Structure 1
């Protein structure tokens, strides 16, 4: 291996690591706020890429119909719960309609826009909007009523949600894979490296999103509320911060990050209905390196995972996934030996 090959592998590793960083940050965010190890994070990635692929063909994406079904279920759950706890039919109906209105508007817009063959940028924005709307609904249907459960129960629920979303992905998208067109076709040469426009977009968008997330959590009131919930859920609740709202907002951000990641990797690889699991799992490895608690640690861990995957594919391409996921074992062992048992273990 010479310097030029090593440079190419490093660039490839950092490119993949930039996407894994977004998923790792989303995993840390969801876990710190809700204590959910969100295994289906990768499904948002696959849904984002495949939704754009369907819009490219002029067809209404299956995610639109799934979104409406999930919205109806969530609104009915909200109606029943509000009626039982408050006994006010008007308030219960308002809450149910509030849950239903945004997904309904996105679905109606998607059905109208799909055959219009709008430019790629418009289709990408619509794809992100569709998949982002899934976040609060998934939380409302699967997790909100169990927010006081142990992390083990929430993990089991996450496994169930993952299998459900994977199966529904097969139903709505089929077994055929799709590769989306790049957002920028330019080519740049920097020494031995050949940079594509899509690679530049991946770096720019990933960096911009990380900076925006930092600003959101440091400067905005809602971001500070999420940080407070992550630090002390009980204390945040006593201060008037709704755990329901925090959970839904967290899943909204996680779905947005997943959808955007799907658009970034769609032009670089063929995406199948079940591709999100492996991609999300690599983001999870990055989050584990960070101890599921540190955003800078997740960023560094993701870049490390990307570089290990890149060099592993060069030396032993058949075992690159094994090499990446084997990283979890020594990391978990070291963290287990260095940390004591938490209160939730008892």
Structure 2
């Protein structure tokens, strides 16, 4: 291996690592706020990429019907809860409107816009509008009633949600893979390295989102409330912070990050209905490097995973996944020896 090959591999690894960093940050965020190890994070990636791909073909994506089904299921659940708790009708109607308004409006716009061939950027924004609400709806339907359950129970629920989303992804998108067009076709050359416009967009978008997340947690009241919930859920409740609202916000942000990651990675590889699992799992490995607690360490771990995958594919392409996922074992061993074991109550 010479320096030119090493540079190409490093650039490829850092590009993938930038996407894994977003997924790792989303995984850390969800776990810190809700104690949920959110295995289906990668499904948001696949849903985002495939939704945009179907917009490109002029078809109405199955995401529309799935979003409506989840929204109406959440509305039925709210009706049942309101009837059982004797919530006043006026308040109940307002809750139903808040639940259904965005999914119905976004779905209607998507059905209208799909055959009209709008520019790629418009279709990408519409994809984000469709996939982002999945976060809060999935949390409300699968996790909210189990918010105080043990981490093991929440992990089992995550496994079930993952298999459900993969099966529904096959139903709504089919088994065919799609590769989206690049948002910027420009290419830049520097010696043996060739930097595509899409790679520049991945780096810029990832950096911008990381900065926005930092500002959100440091400068906004909602961000500080999420940080408080992550530090001490009981204390946050005593201070008037709703753990349910914090969980919904965290899952919504995770869905947005996952959908954006799908838009970024879609032009670089072919995405299938089940591709999100491996992509999300690599983000999870990076999050484990950070102990599911530190955002900066998650970023560093994600870049390390990307580089390990890139160089591993060069030296032993048949075992690149084994190399990436095997790297988690010494990290877990070190953390097991270094951190005290605290029994969860």
State the SS of the aligned residue for 2:39. coil
Between the aligned partners of 2:287 and 2:168, the Cα distance in structure 1 is 26
State the SS of the aligned residue for 1:49. helix
Query: Counterpart of 1:260?
Result: 260
Show structure 1 runs of 5+ residues with no match: none
Q: With the length of structure 1 as denominator, give the TM-score of the two structures.
A: 0.98
Is contact 1:79-1:93 (8 Å) kept? Answer: no
Query: Counterpart of 2:153?
Result: 153
Between the aligned partners of 2:245 and 2:181, the Cα distance in structure 1 is 37
1:1-346 alignment runs, 5 A limit: 1-344=1-344, 346=345
What per-residue deviation string (whole Å, max 9, x for no partner) do you get for residues 154-203 of structure 1? Answer: 00000000000000000011000000000000010122210000000000
Between the aligned partners of 1:300 and 1:216, the Cα distance in structure 2 is 20
Q: With the length of structure 2 as denominator, give the TM-score of the two structures.
A: 0.99
What per-residue deviation string (whole Å, max 9, x for no partner) do you get for residues 69-94 of structure 1? Answer: 00000111122213322442332232
Between the aligned partners of 2:86 and 2:235, the Cα distance in structure 1 is 24
Show structure 2 runs of 5+ residues with no match: none
Between the aligned partners of 1:223 and 1:29, the Cα distance in structure 2 is 11
Shift of 1:54: 0.3
Shift of 1:343: 4.1
Is contact 1:83-1:89 (8 Å) kept? Answer: no
Is contact 1:30-1:37 (8 Å) kept? Answer: yes
State the SS of the aligned residue for 2:194. strand
Is contact 1:10-1:307 (8 Å) kept? Answer: yes
Between the aligned partners of 1:59 and 1:342, the Cα distance in structure 2 is 52
Is contact 1:83-1:92 (8 Å) kept? Answer: no
Shift of 1:304: 0.2
Shift of 1:95: 1.2
Is contact 1:286-1:299 (8 Å) kept? Answer: yes
Per mean C-alpha deviation after superposition, the further-off stretch among 326-335 and 23-32 is: 326-335
